[in-house]
Amino acid sequence: MIKVDQLTKSFGKIKAVNGISFNINKGEIYGLLGPNGAGKSTTINMLSSLFKPDSGTIHLNNTDLFSETNSCKKIIGIVPQEISLYDELSAEENLFFFGKIYGIPTKKLKNKIHDLLEFIGLSGRKKDAIKTYSGGMKRRINIAAALLHEPKILFLDEPTVGVDPQSRNRIFEIVERLKSEGLTIIYTTHYMEEVERLCDRIAIIDEGKIVGQGTLEELKKMIGEKEIVELDFATSDKEKIEELKTILPFEAEITNNKLAIKCDKNKDLKEVLNLVSKLNLSIADIDFVAPNLERVFLHLTGKELRD
């Protein structure tokens, strides 16, 4: 349904997107997970024809986006990262306005607005001005606006940023229902819990590149099945921590004062602790972490995903 090949886009010296390729099947939710500035919005903006790439190709439903932009635009809905609604107008008026831009006939549009307001759970507030809405409610109206023309593909760019927990759950339910109706969805976020819950496949994106992609299981396999034992040291004695890493018979990674060791906590911990005391290192904290996307991200980029 979506085929992206070797996309690149620079802004001056910044390579915002640097050779991204992926294929998304009909009905899939594909997650773009990455930290601030990774290139998620730039990718979405190219896919929705707002930006032209410097190089690379985009096909939507087997159609070249840049040679047949108008027909492609009909099948895509965009929920941009920045909320774009008219504050003084009501929810209903906003949706009417956007529907008219798409050229939807009035009667059909009114029915559609009614259905969508029900769908996003905001029928009761439809007459209120957008300026009286919470961030999460505005976000839901933005989603409705993107669905007015019944697109086949939906781009959601960080739809839960600045959203209260209740609206967040509501947005998850909306996305899950849209999937069940057969929409193909790209979902960008820097929250790993969201892609873990919603996405069929995930691309981990950093500095304009996809550093890993696959299902959650496939990505977790990249760091192995084992639990991680994370030792936080009281000292920042980098040399000793390095030394410990080299003498440990297990795979390990260092970040700041922490050493993340891939081993069996029931079987191997004693051996680890023996080596720690041999080097006169003292432990400030110890944690056991099941493989998760945060770990995968760290493994692939050497950086923490969290801000």
Q: Which residues of the chain form contacts with Mg ion (CB under 5 A)?
A: 40-41, 81
Q: How many angstroms separate the CA atoms of 242 and 215, rounded? A: 33
CB of 34 to ligand ATP, least distance (A): 5
| Contact partners, residue 294, CB within 8 Å, separation at least 6 | 192, 304, 305, 306
Determine contact, residues 206/301, Cβ cutoff 8 Å: yes
Q: Tell me, what amino acid is at 224?
A: G
**CB 158 → Mg ion: shortest distance, Å?**
6
Q: Residue 153 corresponds to which amino acid?
A: I
Cβ nearer to ligand ATP, comparing 43 with 167 = 43
- If one asks whether residue 81 binds ligand ATP (CB under 6 A), the answer comes out as yes
> In this complex, which beta carbon is closest to Mg ion, that of residue 10 or of residue 81?
81
Nearer to ligand ATP, 80 or 99 (CB): 80
Q: Which is nearer to ligand ATP, 143 or 261 (CB)?
A: 143
**Contact call for residue 38 and ligand ATP (CB under 6 A):** yes
- Give the range of 21-29, 30-38, 229-237, 299-307 binding ligand ATP by CB under 6 A: 30-38
Angle at 183 between CA 133 and CA 19, to 5 degrees: 95
248 Cβ neighbours under 8 A, 6+ residues apart: 261, 272, 275
Rounded Cα distance, 257 and 242, in Å: 10
Site membership for ligand ATP, residue 14 (CB under 6 A):
yes
Piece in contact with ligand ATP (CB under 6 A), picked from 32-40, 65-73, 121-129, 272-280? 32-40
Which of the choices ligand ATP, Mg ion, none does residue 125 contact, using the CB cut-off of 5 to 8 A by kind?
none
Residue 94's binding partner among ligand ATP, Mg ion, none (Cβ under 5 to 8 angstroms by kind) is: none
Task: Please name which of 307, 229, 284, 231 lies closest in space to residue 35, comparing C-alpha atoms.
Answer: 307
Out of 1, 4, 7, 16, point to the residue binding ligand ATP (CB under 6 A): 16
Token digits of residue 122: 């905001």
Partners of residue 268 on adjacent β-strands: none
* Nearer to ligand ATP among residue 38 and residue 95 (C-beta): 38
Tokens representing 50? 């707002």
Does residue 245 sit in helix, strand or coil? helix
Q: Which of 168, 184, 143, 144 is nearest to 31 (CA)?
A: 184
- Return the number of the residue (41 or 160) whose C-beta is nearest Mg ion: 41
In the set 2, 24, 39, 293, which binds ligand ATP (CB under 6 A)? 39
8 A C-beta contact, residue 223 and residue 204: no
Comparison of 18 and 81: residue with beta carbon closer to Mg ion:
81
Picked from ligand ATP, Mg ion, none, the partner binding residue 42 (CB below 5 to 8 A depending on kind) is ligand ATP
Residues that bind ligand ATP (CB under 6 A): 11, 14, 16, 34, 36-42, 81, 158, 190
